[in-house]
C-alpha cells in the first residue's frame, strides 16, 4: 500500500492508521492546501510509541485581536 494512504504520526512520521477509506474532499482544501475531511476541523495523530512521551491536548483558541 502507498505511504500516502496512511495517516502518519505527527511526532516521528511512523504509520498510524490506514486512511484511504475516509471521505476526503479534494475539491475544497484548507488554508494549508490540504484536502478537507467530512466535518473535521483539526486533528493530531501520534503512534503508540510516541504516546508514551507525548499527548494530544485540545484547548480553546484565544480570540484574534
Find the domain containing 41 and state its range.
3-52
**In-domain check, residue 63:** no
pLDDT, position 51: 96
- The answer to whether residue 39 is domain-embedded is yes
Read off φ and ψ for residue 26, nearest 5 degrees.
-80, -10
pLDDT of res. 19: 75
Domain annotation covers residue 62: no
Give the H/E segment covering residue 29: strand 24-29
Q: Is 17 among the domain residues?
A: yes
**pLDDT lower than 70: segments of the chain:** 1-4, 20-21, 23-24, 26, 39
* pLDDT on residue 2: 62
Report if residue 45 sits inside a domain: yes
pTM for this entry: 0.67
Instruction: Count structural domains, the chain.
Output: 1
pLDDT at 59: 92
Residue 8 lies in a domain: yes
Establish if 58 belongs to a structural domain: no
What is the end-to-end Cα distance of the chain in Å, rounded? Answer: 45
Amino acid at each position: 500500500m502507498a505511504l500516502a494512504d496512511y495517516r502518519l504520526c505527527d511526532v516521528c512520521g511512523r504509520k498510524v492508521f490506514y486512511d484511504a477509506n475516509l471521505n476526503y474532499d479534494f475539491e475544497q482544501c484548507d488554508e494549508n492546501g490540504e484536502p478537507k475531511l467530512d466535518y473535521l476541523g483539526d486533528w493530531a495523530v501520534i503512534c503508540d510509541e510516541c504516546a508514551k512521551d507525548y499527548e494530544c491536548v485540545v484547548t480553546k483558541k484565544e480570540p484574534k485581536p
